[in-house]
């Protein structure tokens, strides 16, 4: 073989590589999402049952059951001039997004990096670490949206979303779920070993957040020294936003802007954090 010929062969190989890199460079994140959807398919049952069952139980227990006590004993003004069911429904919707986030952005992330290192497998293919992160977030966002739409339809069945733009509360929930979720993913990505950190997150962050985010009663009923938990909580911001959409809850417009901006900032920050960790961790 002459050198000229072999150099040509080499150029062929290089050109082929460059051509083959095009699609993965553009669509890599989507390929990861497709993989995640296939995995999620194996627990579709859980997603649907939890997606319908949970809202049913919560809406019934709180919006109908607890509401009989609240509505009988408190003036409507205590929860902003609407029935307790209407008050609590958008908040439950926002919490459902947090639940999905804490399912999908914790152990599955640890799994992908460590226990069943599919992320390592992906990073040996043309996919880049950032695309792996994007794909995971994209797939969870879709799953979350499915859950939230189901939830919203049930709220409609309960007649608990009077506003004509009530469907926008789905987006409020999605924003809150992703704001909390991407940050959670960033944190879960940093964990080399699970020595109970994720269980701690559930117990000492997720649970208090649900209690102190104005879900069951307005944040303003708390003493001022406890209200800061609500202000930093993505759930409070998404809950308030969902209420604005769901029943036209009256708050100053600047506050609505703050909700959206705060959640957007968290999403971007968590996303960038998770990407950075992925680049570092998969490129070792």
Partner 1 sequence: MPPRSPRSRRAPVDAGCRCAGLSWSLVSEPVIVARDLVKRYGDFAAVDGISFEVAPGESFGLLGPNGAGKSTTMRMVGAVSTRTAGDLSILGLDPDTHGPEIRSQLGVVPQSDNLDTELRVRENLLVYGRYFGLPGRVIAKRADELLAFAQLQEKGKAKVDSLSGGMKRRLTIARALINDPRVLLLDEPTTGLDPQARHILWDRLFRLKEQGTTLLLTTHYMDEAEQLCDRLVVVDKGAIMAEGTPADLIRRYSSREVLEVRFGSDRNSEVAERLSGIGDRTEVLPDRILIYSENGEAELVRITEAGLHPLTSLVRRSSLEDVFLRLTGRTLIE
CB of 126 to partner 1, least distance (A): 4
Nearer to partner 1, 18 or 224 (CB): 18
Neighbours of 174 (CB within 10 A): 23
Torsion of CA 155, 160, 165, 168, to 10 degrees: -40
Q: Is 1 in the site for partner 1 (CB under 8 A)?
A: yes
| Residues contacting partner 1: total by CB under 8 A | 42
- Which residue in the block uniquely carries the two structure tokens 């080399």? 192
CB 112 within 8 A of CB 118: yes
Our measurement of the distance from residue 282's CA atom to the centroid of its chain's CA atoms, rounded to an integer in Å, reads: 24
Q: Is 44 in the site for partner 1 (CB under 8 A)?
A: no
Region near partner 1 per CB under 8 A, out of 52-60, 120-128, 194-202, 244-252: 120-128
CB of 32 to partner 1, least distance (A): 8
CB 173 within 8 A of CB 213: no
How many Cα atoms occupy the beta-carbon half-sphere of 241 within 13 Å? 30
By CB under 8 A, what part of segment 53-92 binds partner 1?
A: none
By CB under 8 A, what part of segment 128-147 binds partner 1?
A: 128
- Residue closest to 230 by CA, chosen among 256, 249, 211, 254: 211
Furthest C-alpha separation in the chain:
94
Q: Is 121 in the site for partner 1 (CB under 8 A)?
A: yes
Binding-site member from 21, 65, 162, 208 for partner 1 (CB under 8 A): 21
Nearer to partner 1, 124 or 250 (CB): 124
DSSP secondary structure of 40-52: HHTTHHHHHHHHH
Q: Is 159 in the site for partner 1 (CB under 8 A)?
A: no
Binding-site member from 54, 83, 95, 123 for partner 1 (CB under 8 A): 123
Binding site for partner 1 (CB under 8 A): 1, 3, 6-7, 9-11, 13-14, 16-18, 20-25, 27-28, 31-32, 34-35, 38-39, 42, 116-118, 120-128, 282-284
């Amino acid at each position: 073989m002459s050198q000229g010929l072999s150099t040509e062969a080499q150029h062929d190989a290089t050109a082929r590589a460059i051509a083959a890199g095009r699609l993965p460079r553009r669509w890599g994140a989507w390929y990861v999402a497709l993989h995640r959807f296939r995995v999620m398919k194996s627990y579709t049952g859980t997603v649907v049952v939890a997606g319908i069952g949970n809202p049913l139980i919560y809406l019934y227990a709180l919006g109908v059951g607890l509401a009989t006590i609240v509505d009988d004993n408190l003036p409507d003004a205590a929860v902003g001039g609407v029935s307790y069911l209407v008050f609590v429904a958008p908040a439950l919707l926002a919490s459902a997004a947090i639940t999905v986030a804490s399912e999908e952005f914790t152990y599955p992330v640890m799994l992908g990096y460590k226990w069943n290192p599919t992320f390592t497998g992906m990073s040996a293919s043309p996919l880049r670490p950032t695309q792996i992160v994007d794909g995971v977030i994209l797939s969870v966002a879709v799953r979350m949206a499915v859950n939230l739409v189901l939830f919203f339809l049930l709220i409609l069945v309960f007649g608990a979303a009077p506003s004509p733009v009530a469907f926008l509360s789905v987006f409020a929930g999605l924003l809150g779920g992703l704001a909390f979720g991407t940050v959670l993913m960033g944190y879960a990505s940093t964990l080399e070993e699970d020595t109970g950190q994720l269980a701690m997150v559930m117990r000492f962050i997720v649970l208090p957040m649900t209690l102190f985010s104005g879900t069951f009663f307005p944040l303003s009923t708390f003493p001022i020294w406890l209200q800061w938990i609500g202000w930093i909580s993505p759930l409070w911001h998404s809950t308030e936003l969902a209420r604005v959409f769901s029943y036209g809850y009256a708050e100053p417009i600047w506050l609505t802007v703050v909700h959206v901006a705060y959640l957007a900032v968290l999403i971007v920050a968590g996303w960038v954090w998770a990407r950075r960790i992925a680049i570092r961790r998969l490129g070792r």
